[in-house]
Amino acid sequence: MRPSELRQDLISLDWVVIAMGRAKRPHAFASSFPFVHDAKETCPFDNLEKFGNEKPVLQYGGKADWTLKVFPNKYPAFMSGFADCPVMLPKGPYNTMEGRGFHEVFVLRDHYKQPAELPVARLHELVHAYAERFRMLKEEGCVNYISIFHNHGRSAGASLTHPHSQLIAIPVIPPDISRSLEGSDRFFAGERKCAHCTMIEYERKEKSRIIFENSSMVVFAPFVSRSAFEMRIFPKEHSPHFETMSDREERSLAEALKTALHALNKGLKNPAYNYFIHTAPTRDHSHGYYHWHLEIVPKTQVWAGFEIGTGIEISTIGPESAAKFLRSFV
């Protein structure tokens, strides 16, 4: 039996286990549950006015032949807008803050086609909409961080199967982002270079974990993968802020995202997944050491007692094998 290998992340300094002795064949991770679509007739995203959705804040295409609409979430996690910036208040030994911000939904027109199945032009439109709404909402004085994410499949948290992404703008910096910023800053202070640029340089030299690259973007399975078939998309040029992409870079991101999701869809038979963008906060522009990126995390495993009790995740396939398998579908 091959020994497991502990790998430490450059930024978080967290450890993960690549369990060589428990390694599975790539095909073993394929979804065994068929993807069942919600009925189109009762889908609130196919009957926007009937279900009482607000008017779109952004729309691509005509009134009848629209391709993408963005509108406020009917059931928001954060109440919309700010009269004044929320103030942190003590409650016993704890701190509280009013949950205000912005929660928006990006609805793609086709009820059945997931991002993996769309042409690059439609994904370019989606990426452009992300950046356009990001630039608009970051001007709100109380917004400190904007999270953009996409849930695919019930086990990934998608309450509706109609393809849609979400944006949540909030007055605080999330803990995962704080740790990423702190780790990136620590690495830069010690090495005088960007940690993510260092990863990209190493991966492009090694090549074994690279899945796809084009003129502006590179897709790879991280050396320290938290879960099987995890992928990350990075701009090759250093940039802290996602929303500053040029149109050419947006199209390159759309092509990279399409390629990665298509490979995942074909290789693992349409598994549930989440993708999300990690970028620098909106209000403080002192994060030159940071490097924005998009992470794709398929639901290939469930945390058990060891993972929950220690925070050390176990992957039963090496990222090198995962990348090789996914490359066969590119």
Domain boundaries, the chain: 33-327
Going by C-beta distance under 8 Å and a sequence separation of 6 or more, which residues neighbour residue 261?
Answer: 114, 115, 116, 273, 275, 296
CA 48 to chain centre: 26
Instruction: Provide φ and ψ at 94, rounded to 5°.
Output: -105, 170
Q: What CATH topology corresponds to 33-327?
A: HIT family, subunit A (3.30.428)
Per-residue model confidence (pLDDT) at position 82? 86
Which position among 103, 164, 196, 262 bears the catalytic label?
164
Going by C-beta distance under 8 Å and a sequence separation of 6 or more, which residues neighbour residue 244?
Answer: none
Q: How far is CA 60 from CA 132, 135, 136, 219, 251, in A?
A: 12, 17, 16, 28, 16
- Predicted TM-score (pTM) of the model is 0.95
**Site of tokens 């953009």:** 148
The answer to whether 136 touches 101, Cβ cutoff 8 Å, is: no
Per-residue model confidence (pLDDT) at position 23? 61
What residues in the chain have per-residue pLDDT under 50?
none
Rounded Cα distance between 296 and 113, Å, is 18
Per-residue model confidence (pLDDT) at position 32? 66
The answer to whether 125 touches 191, Cβ cutoff 8 Å, is: no
164 is catalytic: yes
Per-residue model confidence (pLDDT) at position 1? 62
Q: What is the pLDDT of residues 162-221, one digit of tens each?
A: 999 999 999 999 999 999 999 999 999 999 999 999 999 999 999 999 999 999 999 999
Sign of CA dihedral 95, 97, 101, 105: positive
